[in-house]
Structures are given as C-alpha cells and as structure tokens.
Structure 1
Amino acid sequence: MKNILTLIITYSLLAIPIYSQNYLWPTNASKYISSTFGEYREGHFHSGIDIKTNHKIGYPVYAVDNGYVWRIRTSPFGYGKAVYLKLNDGNIAVYGHLDRFDDKLLPYVKAEQFKQNRYSTDIYLSESDIRISRGDIIGYTGDTGSEHPHLHFELRDISGKPFNPLNSNLRVKDYTIPTIKEVAVIPIGKESRINGGVYIQVFKVKYLGDREFGLDDTIYVSGSIGVEIKTHDTVSGLPNKYAPYGIQMYVDDSLRFITQYNKFDFSETRFVNIDRDFQLFQDEVGRFNRLWMYDTSKTIPFYNNSQTGALNLKSGYHDIKIEVYDHNRNTATLKFTIFSGQDYSPVIEKCEHDIGRFRVFIKRDSIHSYKGFFTDWVDKYGNKIKRALVSKIEISDDNYILNFVSHEPGEEILKVSAVPRQSNKIRSAFLTFSSSGFVDNVSVIPSYVHNPKTFLCNMTFNKAPRQPRFFLQSEESLKEIPLIAESPVRFVTEPVPFSWWEDAFAYEIRLPTEPVNIIRKAINFKCITPDRSNTITSKDRVLTATFGKNTVYDSLITWVEKAESIHVEGGERVADCYKIFPVTQPLNSYIRLMLIYPANQDKVEQIGLYRWDDDEWNFINSDSYAEDETIAAEIQKLGTFCLIRDFTPPVITDIFPGNGGKFRQSSVKYLRATVEDKLSGIKDDTAISVRIDGKPIIVEYHGVKNYIRYKLPKPLNSGSHTLVITVEDQAMNITTAVSKFLILNDR
C-alpha cells in the first residue's frame, strides 16, 4: 500500500502541466535550443529557452499567437532589443537579442529615442497601438545584449511569472537520457560525518548501461546529510549541455525529494544560489543540483516543499535511487547504497611505555568495535615508511590493547588503521612519540571552511604535534573544540554552533610540551543572520561592510583580511586590497561596502571600487563622498576588493567609413566603430556621442561586443564627410576619434 501511495503522490506532483495553447514556433531559424528553462545564470534562473540560429542573424521572428505589442525595449546589455507581446489568452511572449524590429514597430522606437535623446528605451504600448496576428513578423534574430546569435524566448503567465515554454505545445526532439557525473554528500549538522570526515565529499558516478548509473562503493554517514548531483542533459548530435527538467530522489523506495522546473516568480530568482550548490561551483568542483532544502522557511517554486530532502537515516543500510529526466521523459537512474551509523573512527585513549615495549589503548564499545588492525610507521604527511609490528592484541571491556616492541630512532609517528565489524571501510588514527626541537620551531597555517551549515578551522603544522588542543577565547569563557586528525600534521576542528565563533576574539592551540607551547591568533568573526542587520570592519577600519536584514540566506560567518596586491593594467591601486570571506557562500541581496581612500587624492573622480573576479578587475558602480573621503557601493558577491584609479581613456578603433577612405554610396549602409575600455568600462549608451557632418545621431551600442553602429536612413550625399565619435569611461576619461572620408556616386 505504501508503494502505491508513493506512486500516486509522485504522479500528481510530477505530471507535466501542459497548457492548452497552440502556439507557433517563434522562428524559422531552427527547432533546436542551446539553453532551456530554469538553468543557472549568475544570480538568477534562466527564464526561457534559447533557440539556435545557426550562428547567424536575420531570421524572421513570428508572433506565436494573436495579441498586441505590449512593450518594446532597446538596451546595450541584458535582452538587447526585445519585444513583449500580450497574447489573447492572457500570457506574455518575450523575444530577446533581436537584431532589428519589424517596420511596424520602428516608428515607436525612433520616436522614443528622439524624445529621450538616447539609444536605450523602454516603451509600453496600448492594446490598440500595434495589433498582431499569429505568424506576423515582429523582428529578426540577432545578438544584441549577447555574446552569440540566438533567440531568447519566454512565456509568462498573466501575473508576469515565467513558465517553461516546453510546457505548452512547443516541443524539441530529444531521445537522449541525461548524464549523471558525480554525487556530493553534504554534512548539514554538527554530528554529521561522511566516510568519517566533516567535509563535503564528492563521488564519481559510472554508467552501468541500460539507462542506469552507479557508484563503486557504499557511502558511510552519520548525522544529517544532504545529497546533490552533477548532471546535465544532451540532445543527440548537438554539443550543448542542458539542465534537466526534473529530479526525484527515493530512499528505500520512499519519495524524499522532488524538483521540476515549471514556473517561478522573478522575486524568487535569487534562490538559484541555493537550488544549485554555490560553494562547489566556487571551489571549481562543478555545478551541482541540491536534492535537499537549504532553508525550509524559504519556498522554492520548483520543489514540493513538504519534502525537505534532508536525510537523518536510521542505523543500517539504505538504498538511494535518483531519477533525472528531461522534458520528453528520457530518464536516467542512479542507484547507490548509504550506510548510516555512528562514526567508528578509532580513538587512541593512551599510550603506556615499559622496558622494551609500549602499549596503545584503542577505545572499545558498541560503536568502536573492530575485527582487525593495520599499523604502520609513517612520515609527517601520513605516507608509509614501514610496517609497525604488533606482538600481541589484548581485549578488555573498554579497550583494544596493541602491544609493540619499542620503536627505533626515526620511528616517531604511528598510524593505526582499524577495520570495523559493520563494514570494510578502514578508519585511521595517529600517535606521535617524539617532539624533539619542536617547542622552538613550531608553526601552523590555519584556513577555514564554511559549509552550508557548519564552520571549520583547518590547521597544518610544520611538524607532527602530540595531541594538540584547540580553544576559542571569548569575554565569557575559554571553550575547547575537539580536533580530528586527518594526518600527523593536519587537523580540523569538530563542527560547533556558529555562535561559538562569533563570540570569540582569539583562538589558542595548546601543545602538551614542557612547558606548554601555546600558539595564539586574534580573530574578528561576525555571525550574520537573516533576521537582523550587522557590520564587519577591517582591522585598520578602512573597510566596512554592512549587512541588512535578509541579505544572507542563512547564518553566515564572515571576516575581512588584507589581500595580496594584484597588478592593475591601465590603472593603479590607491589603497590596500581587502578580501571579505567566505567567498564560497552566496548573498541573497546587496550589502553596502564602504572604503576610505587616502587623504589628498587628486582627481578623485578617477578612483573607483573594483572586485577581482574571473582573473580581472571588474568595476562596481559606486558613489564618492568627499566630506568623508569614502567610496561606497552595493555588492552582491563577496571576494577581493580594491580602490583603483583608472587613468587610461577608452579606445576607438575599426571606424567605418575609415579616415581618408573613398567609398561608393551603395557600400555605406551603416556607420560602425569598436569602442572599448579595459578597466572602468563604458557605462551605457549615454557615454557615447556621435556626429556626422556636425549633426548628432543616436547610434546603437552593443555593450557585450563593444561596438556601435548606425543604419543610415538614406545614402550619404557624394562629397566629403566627417564622422566624430566621443566616448567616456566610468572614470571620466574621454577619447575622441575623427574620420574624414569621401563618398563617390555609384555611377
């Protein structure tokens, strides 16, 4: 009965919502797509489908049904040239990246551009202005606002929410199942462990045949976990990788999670950073779909929100089945096994030395129950040097007692590997015997890992310490956090509540030497929560970041450090660089960043705020306040920031008609030029002015491909002409280029 009920629930939740419309395919360029609905874009979901146009522009774009032109937009960025139709059924059809509009739309665009004296427009029309019928041409495919030619096509419902166009009668031929590449298992609780570790772990998936995928081994977990997969869909004969249409996860044949990309509201589009795993992408592991709810208080429209997907499994083995499917219901199935139980890593409780031998006491109880041990002498990185021979194993009520012959010089680090009774998954512990010369030469390199629900401190020592202890110091107390040994020189703190880190102003690492050696480091962490505002400041008070309410998805430990100086091409740093951590966690909305610039700066207008991203400095639109000598901006992504002076003006090249040239009238239909700025960039079309023979003209600006063009309404008269182009970047550097050319009669 349980399985029947599960099938009924699954069918009702995952039935594709087919709408009754009979829409026309929006272009004759092709019936292939390069992107589908719900795919990841930086900071938002893809709200439509991208139709291939064979790497060309100029294919006609059709009204998919009867209605009227409701909105027309022109922009250097985003959708470029776009048309919005209100259809008679109440839905809205959106066409983006057009090369040009149909003639019946052009008068409205030209009139508004003339009125605003600029290229960018956003025009709303009445129902009686431009009526259209199914199949009417409304424009032509292009690449405005985009890197490559294609048609971006959306369908929105009467309230403006985009829904999957493939849920209408529009279809794409596809007979290929999705591909599943990797599985990630996420620790989402303080007690969570994956194969004995506290980190996210990623497992390779292999194809087994007959549409089925699997893993090589059982995954051993304890505590609460989340499962994620790296997957994509393909279409035979095409190189593109698409997001799947839906994913469902079963545990022991019980449905535990569903996602299906049907519809969303634009107010929900930032949830893309918790629907996909932002952290794994930032760590260059790949793009993973979460099969668990990051925050159950946030309703993500693609999910069945009654099933969170977070797994806290009973002790024992569990069968996991994940089905991934495209819109044509081509389905790939991944099956693997998880064993849930308490962490059974060996715990070395003590070591006793006697004449000619030593004994190691391993904890023994219902969890720490082993059927065998392997012992080796290893170097400080855990690499085997030679076998450590056990002369005898004794068993008491509380311990396994391993007896060894006394170690020789050079045998300083013992690795004890235990084979648990409930599996063959080996766990290890380390015991360091010597610390000669260690007191005066100790050093440690700390680093931090901010997982979705846990915060960890990694420590790498230059020499293997003996049983180091870790303490967080606050105004109220000194709290010890147990350490987990990953190798003789590498340790990590056990997960503890975020509040422990927020209250602390320093941590100490204590080494049991004589006298006790203490390594101390001051810290300035803040715990940001969605329900209240907070600020974080650099140690020198130059940088302040203000987090308002709901700027984070969930609790976030953040801090600021000075960053390494990075070369600036075409400009210069005017202050130190700062890095706001953790860069692997996303922001839900904008935070305010303010930096103080050094006193007595000339040409403050040339100074801007930049973020280092994708191996280049990216300008952030900011405001300057002379009275406070500060520059402030709204940012939506953490990382490395710097105040930079841009003193290099834009570059204007590839002018057509070129300076000194002679051209036939019929060969000059467009005026064109490339306009680029390497640092602060060109803000928009208002930063560009063009005159032909002294008369100002409004040119198209393609901000992504860095060019301008102007279609001549009629051929230029024969004779001499002068084209003047002036461009200003966002640091107020100005460039002017002049082209004088001669037009000849065609006769």
Structure 2
Amino acid sequence: MMGVLLVLGFDLERGQYAYPMPGYYALSGSFGELRSNHFHSGLDIKTGGQSGAPVVAIEDGYVSRINVSPYGYGKAVYLRHADGKYSVYAHLSRFADTLQSLVYAQQRKTEQYTQEMYLRKHALVFKKGELLGYSGNSGSSLGPHLHFEIRDSAERILNPIPWFKKELPDNRPPIVQEVAFEPLGPTARIAGEHRFYSKWVEGGNGQYRLPGVLEVYGPVGLLYRAYDLLDNAGNHCGINTAHLYLDDSLIYAFDLQRFDFDETRYINLHLAYPFTLHPPKKSYQRAFVEQGNAFSGIRFHRRRGIIELTDGQVHDFCLELIDSHGNRTLLSGKLKRKAPPLVSVPFDYAGTSRLSYQLQRDLLRIDITNPKKIHAQGIYYETLTGTQHKLLPAYRKGNQLVFLLQLDSLHLPRRLFDASGNLQEQLPAWTLALPDRP
C-alpha cells in the first residue's frame, strides 16, 4: 500500500557495547514503553524474581555519579564513556566493593542514607565488562530487576535495543488489539454519532484490518492499542515507530529513538482515554497530534494527522507499526464520508423524557431519551453569567436526541431546560471539571 519508504531515524553511531547483565536476556519493560505519566526511559532486564545478579560496565568509562535513595532509582551508578555517552545502572542491591566503600564513607560523613555523589572526571575508572554491582529492588521498584539506560552527551535518553539485538532477539511483529476513532469537533460524526468509536481488529502475524467501511464526517483522529513481544519473555513491550497513511500518502509519523526528560510530560497528550473515569480504563495511542503536543518523537505530520474526507469516495487508511528490530505490522481499513441527515422527531416518544450529559473534550454532550416533538426545535441553557441561549439538536439516534454545546468562557452552562419547563437539569459546578457524568 505504501509506495515510498520514509526513513525518519537518526544515526546512533553504534559501537560494540558489552551487555550489562550476561545470562539474563528477558525484558519486563522496554525503551519508550508507555507508563501512566511518562515514557519509560530504558530497559528493565528480568532477573527471575531474584536479586544479586552481576552487573557489568558496557564499555570503558569513569564514574560520573552515584545515587543512593529509598525512592526513584534507588542505588544507581552512572558511567561516562569516551564516545560521550552515559550508561546508567539502577535499582541495584549492592555496589561493587570500590563503589560501596565510597558510599559508606560519605554516608558516615554526612550521617545520611540518601546520597547524590558527583565524582571528578576519571577519578574512578571501570573497564568494559568489569563488575559494577549486583541487581536488586532498591528505590521505587516493584520487583527485582536491572533498570538500564544509555544517554547521549546531553543526557537525552537513547533506545538501547539497537546495541543489543543479538542478546535481546525479537522475530515477532507488533500485535494490534484495537483501532479507534475520535471526533475532533462538534460537526464530526463516526458511524453516525459523535462519540469515541473503538473496534477489535481482525487478522494477525503482522496483517490486521478493520472490517467493512466506516462512515465518518468532519475532522476525526485515529488511535490504536498495540504492543510488542520479544522472543524471550511474554511481557508487553512498547512500539517505537508508527506511520499513518491515507490513500498511500503519509499524514503522521512517530519515531521514538531518543527523548529528553523534560519531554516525558507529553505522554499526557500522546495517550487518550475514552470519556470515562470508571474502570476498565483503557489507554489508546494517538496517531495524530493533539493540540499542544510538541514531543520530538513526532517526526512528521500533515494537518496534525487529522483525517477529514471531502468527497463520497471510499478511502484507504493504513497504520504501519515498526518495533526496534524492524519487524513491521500493517493495520488497514476503509473510510467513507457520509453527511449527517437532517434532525427530526416524527412523534412524541412514549415514556418520560430524561436528560443526561457528559463532557467530551471542550464539548458538552446532552442526551434526551424519549424526546418529544418540541425538543426537535431545540432546548435552552443558562450560563454562569445568567444569559440564556437556544441549542439546536445535532442528531437523533433511535429514541435519543443528541445536542452538542461548544464550551468557551461565554458558554459555560449552569442549567438546562426545554420550552415546556417540564425538563430541567441543574449542572453542579464540578461538572465542568469531570470528563463523564451519566
């Protein structure tokens, strides 16, 4: 489907580093893996649930820093190498004797357990393969393992996998679980509705598809849930590269091989959650650029990667996912533009009319179940400043009439009501701070 291969990576100038923990070749966490509030900054190497595995220097280098803390990286040592890069070894149970003596002496001197020690250049040198310490569970660790990092000369975190493909083999393409679409404006519709739309996909072994033709209207964004598996462990690992194509044209490219610690907050704009605070709380990765997301891993986008079809033809989309070993997965599907029909309520629905609402991005969605014909003419809202405005329905879905209110400083409603006065709802102040209220 893709006629042109886009190369977005950069030259890591890879040398031949020694593996930091010989004999332990399974990962519980990979570089760039999505955590609740950050991108994972290295590799988590499994140790079989035990502490005490030898940890060695990956290259000749001098100790630039030693950390000891009951939190964070716990016991950690930082090496600076001749090529300008740093290697970091964290959550250790114990340092090698030379390091341990330095730490003990500083702890006695300061009468404090927590230490952050910066050493003079070349004051303490380790050779490639020399013992630095032993794996453990110190700091903010949930189980024994080694957290290992490689950083560049500016201490930006690099993906270590390219140096250790032999020790950490991966012959399996990424696995796609779900594809989703999100409406990105009050006029947007997905399958006739303004709602977060998600579907399990069909296929496997690097080839997945969304069955059928999905009808969309207005600006929408594609999202996905996927993971990678390395050969030696069943842990779900992250996927570093994603390309989104629309009709063979690249519209979004994400390539995570390096990032700065200051950027990790952008995960809150890269991840999306359906409009609910209640479990199960799934997270999806956006294949478009959310407003304010300046993460350097976004290498290219056209109109922020947002899809907005302008004709009635069927269009092909393809999401290409590539892991750190170059294994590729394609997720394909078809989209077609369909304008929403005119809104009508042909008769008074039986039963009591009920009003509910929920906040979706900067929109307030208002649903009237069992609407009456009068509701097709609109409902009213009173703002925080006391002004009243009429709101026309956006669409009808069965016995539900849906209204969409674009929120701004002049249109923050405190009360909803209809022309008859029989249907009223007072909106509590906290409504505007929550993403969902059924």
What TM-score, normalized to structure 2?
0.90
Match for residue 382 of structure 2? 473
| Counterpart contact for 1:299–1:305, Cα < 8 Å | no
| Counterpart contact for 1:68–1:86, Cα < 8 Å | yes
1:459, 1:87 → 2: CA distance?
62
Tell me the SS of whatever aligns to 1:517: coil
Match for residue 482 of structure 1? 392
Closer/same/farther in 2, CA of residues 170 and 100 from structure 1, 3 Å limit: farther
Match for residue 166 of structure 1? 161
The answer as to 2:92 corresponding to 1:98 is yes
Letter in 2 for 1:432: D
| Counterpart contact for 2:169–2:232, Cα < 8 Å | no
Structure of greater Rg: 1
After superposition, give the CA deviation of every residue in 1:490-512 in whole Å (9 maximum; x if it has no partner): 4432242434543x4x2232154
The answer as to 2:124 corresponding to 1:130 is yes
After superposition, give the CA deviation of every residue in 1:383-409 in whole Å (9 maximum; x if it has no partner): xxxxxxxxxxxxxxxxxxxxxxxxxxx
Tell me the SS of whatever aligns to 1:216: strand
Match for residue 331 of structure 1? 328
Q: CA deviation at 1:523?
A: 4.5
2:110, 2:234 → 1: CA distance?
43
Equivalent position to 1:498, from 408, 412, 415: 408
1:96, 1:433 → 2: CA distance?
64
1:712-727 aligned within 5 A: none
Equivalent position to 2:39, from 45, 51, 58: 45
Q: CA deviation at 1:337?
A: 0.3
2:118, 2:137 → 1: CA distance?
23
Match for residue 338 of structure 2? 341
After superposition, give the CA deviation of every residue in 1:696-729 in whole Å (9 maximum; x if it has no partner): xxxxxxxxxxxxxxxxxxxxxxxxxxxxxxxxxx
Q: CA deviation at 1:46?
A: 0.4
1:26, 1:124 → 2: CA distance?
22
Equivalent position to 1:448, from 335, 341, 358: 358
Q: CA deviation at 1:485?
A: 3.5
Closer/same/farther in 2, CA of residues 583 and 84 from structure 1, 3 Å limit: farther
Equivalent position to 2:348, from 406, 425, 432: 432
The answer as to 2:261 corresponding to 1:271 is no
Match for residue 102 of structure 2? 108
Match for residue 174 of structure 2? 178
After superposition, give the CA deviation of every residue in 1:322-372 in whole Å (9 maximum; x if it has no partner): 11121111111111001123223x5337x5xxxxxxxxxxxxxxxxxxxxx
Q: CA deviation at 1:276?
A: 1.7
Closer/same/farther in 2, CA of residues 31 and 71 from structure 1, 3 Å limit: same
Match for residue 311 of structure 1? 307
1:329-478 aligned within 5 A: 329-344=326-341, 347-348=343-344, 431-432=347-348, 444=354, 446-451=356-361, 454-459=362-367, 465-468=372-375, 469-474=378-383, 475=385, 477-478=387-388
Q: CA deviation at 1:103?
A: 0.3
| Counterpart contact for 2:62–2:124, Cα < 8 Å | yes
| Counterpart contact for 2:382–2:388, Cα < 8 Å | yes
| Counterpart contact for 2:244–2:317, Cα < 8 Å | yes
Name the structure, 1 or 2, with higher relative contact order (CA <8 Å, separation 6+): 2
Q: CA deviation at 1:260?
A: 1.4
Closer/same/farther in 2, CA of residues 241 and 268 from structure 1, 3 Å limit: same
Match for residue 539 of structure 1? none
Match for residue 541 of structure 1? none
Match for residue 674 of structure 1? none
1:470, 1:192 → 2: CA distance?
21
The answer as to 2:255 corresponding to 1:260 is yes
Q: CA deviation at 1:246?
A: 1.0
| Counterpart contact for 1:181–1:229, Cα < 8 Å | yes
1:347, 1:108 → 2: CA distance?
76
Q: CA deviation at 1:80?
A: 1.3
1:188, 1:117 → 2: CA distance?
57
| Counterpart contact for 2:270–2:293, Cα < 8 Å | no
Closer/same/farther in 2, CA of residues 281 and 464 from structure 1, 3 Å limit: closer
| Counterpart contact for 1:23–1:170, Cα < 8 Å | no
1:59, 1:320 → 2: CA distance?
47
Structure 1's unaligned 5+ residue stretches are: 352-430, 526-556, 560-580, 585-747
Tell me the SS of whatever aligns to 1:217: strand
Q: CA deviation at 1:236?
A: 3.9
Match for residue 407 of structure 1? none
Structure 2's unaligned 5+ residue stretches are: none
Tell me the SS of whatever aligns to 2:105: helix
Match for residue 192 of structure 2? 196
2:425, 2:285 → 1: CA distance?
40
Equivalent position to 2:429, from 524, 528, 531: 524
